């Protein structure tokens, strides 16, 4: 199903927009007529995403950077402002994940996820702010249900994404008077993504996981893109500071579903 939105003449910048859910969001905005910019670490992935978005008619721009490095984020956003002007829609979605019980996780591994997801989001939001269209910009942080549903083997992601959602709420307060809206999308399990390849690596784990979703299926990257377009559209101009689960109802089932979804993976680690 294709949702119908018109973002012609708008500039969208998706951090982490070179694969998976975030590239899906970038594609949705490009299909809706926007000019789309992306950033991530791999130059090859950036080049491939830019070429694909250009092929869709977008005036695409790309930046190879690590969101953990504030100087790189600040410089890319300044260069982007020179090249393309102000940003109408900013999506901050760069993230890392690996399943591990807290007792088996090194502090370095925990810190890496917090640094990318939370500190990286702060860098992106902090240095994008001068270049956001005011009034009118829509900022979307890509969170996860782990922000509000405790999940085994996800202590790092739970902590980092809970922080991301509090950044959403705090900046909605601080930036509201300038006419900038800030929201989070919390995608549930999304098919054909790196995140789900890591959390549900076998068919039997996928089958168990699927049963924990009230709608009985994984979502699609387009379904997350549609939510991002809705939140950035005129239909959502009074929505700010919200955390929107787009998860087939998964988070309603809560921690029990999360534990069930992860049982087999935790057992295979010898600790579940």
Give residue for tokens 């309603």: 252
User: 33 with 258: CB under 8 angstroms?
Assistant: no
CA separation, residue 172 to residues 175, 177, 233 (Å): 5, 9, 17
Give the separation between CA 149 and CA 176, rounded to whole angstroms: 28
Instruction: Answer whether 164's CB lies under 8 Å from 114's CB.
Output: no
Find the shortest distance in angstroms from Cβ 16 to ligand NAP.
3
Residues constituting the chain:
272
**Residue with smaller CB distance to ligand NAP, 152 or 189:** 189
Count of alpha carbons within 13 angstroms of residue 171, beta-carbon side = 25
How many Cα atoms within 13 Å fall on the side-chain side of residue 124?
Answer: 36
CA distance 132 to 144: 24
Give the nearest distance from C-beta 86 to ligand NAP in angstroms. Answer: 22
Cα dist from 245 to 47, 52, 150, 269, 271, whole Å: 31, 28, 15, 29, 30
**Residue with smaller CB distance to ligand NAP, 179 or 259:** 259
| Residue whose Cβ sits closest to ligand NAP | 20
Q: Cβ 87 to ligand NAP, closest distance in Å?
A: 17
Q: What are the residues whose beta carbons fall under 8 Å from the beta carbon of 177, sequence distance 6 or more? A: none
Nearest distance, CB of residue 221 and ligand NAP, angstroms: 7
Least Å distance between CB 71 and ligand NAP? 13
**Shortest CB 40 distance to ligand NAP, Å:** 3
Least distance CB 134 / ligand NAP (angstroms):
25
| Cβ-based nearer residue to ligand NAP, 132 or 261 | 261
- Residue 22 or 138 with smaller CB distance to ligand NAP: 22
Q: Is 60 helix (H, G, I), strand (E, B) or coil?
A: coil
C-alpha to C-alpha distance for 148 and 251, rounded to whole angstroms: 8
CB nearer to ligand NAP: pick between 19 and 136: 19
Cβ atoms within 10 Å of 85's Cβ, excluding its own: 12
| Comparison of 18 and 37: residue with beta carbon closer to ligand NAP | 18
- Rank residues 56 and 134 by Cβ distance to ligand NAP and give the closer one: 56
The residues binding ligand NAP (CB under 6 A) are: 16, 18-22, 40-42, 45, 66-68, 93-96, 116, 120, 142, 144, 187, 189-190, 193-196
């Amino acid at each position: 199903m294709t949702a119908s939105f018109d973002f012609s003449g708008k500039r969208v910048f998706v951090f982490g927009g070179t694969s998976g859910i975030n590239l899906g969001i970038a594609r949705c905005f490009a299909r809706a007529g926007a000019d789309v910019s992306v950033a991530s670490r791999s130059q090859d992935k950036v080049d491939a995403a830019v070429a694909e978005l250009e092929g869709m008619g977008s005036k695409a721009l790309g930046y190879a950077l690590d969101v953990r490095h504030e100087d790189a984020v600040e410089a890319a956003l300044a260069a982007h402002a020179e090249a393309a002007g102000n940003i109408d829609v900013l999506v901050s979605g760069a993230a890392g994940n690996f399943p591990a019980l807290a007792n088996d996780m090194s502090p370095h591994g925990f810190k890496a996820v917090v640094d990318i997801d939370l500190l990286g989001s702060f860098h992106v939001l902090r240095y994008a702010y001068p270049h956001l269209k005011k009034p009118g910009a829509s900022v979307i942080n890509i969170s996860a249900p782990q922000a509000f549903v405790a999940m085994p083997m996800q202590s790092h992601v739970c902590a980092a994404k809970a922080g991301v959602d509090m950044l959403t709420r705090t900046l909605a307060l601080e930036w509201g008077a300038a006419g900038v809206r800030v929201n989070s999308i919390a995608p549930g399990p999304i098919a054909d993504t790196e995140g789900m390849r890591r959390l549900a690596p076998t068919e039997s784990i996928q089958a168990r996981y699927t049963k924990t979703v009230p709608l009985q299926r994984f979502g699609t990257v387009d379904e997350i893109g549609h939510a991002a377009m809705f939140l950035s559209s005129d239909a959502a101009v009074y929505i700010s500071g919200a955390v929107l689960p787009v998860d087939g109802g998964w988070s309603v089932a809560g921690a029990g579903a999360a534990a069930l979804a992860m049982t087999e993976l935790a057992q295979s680690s010898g600790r579940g």
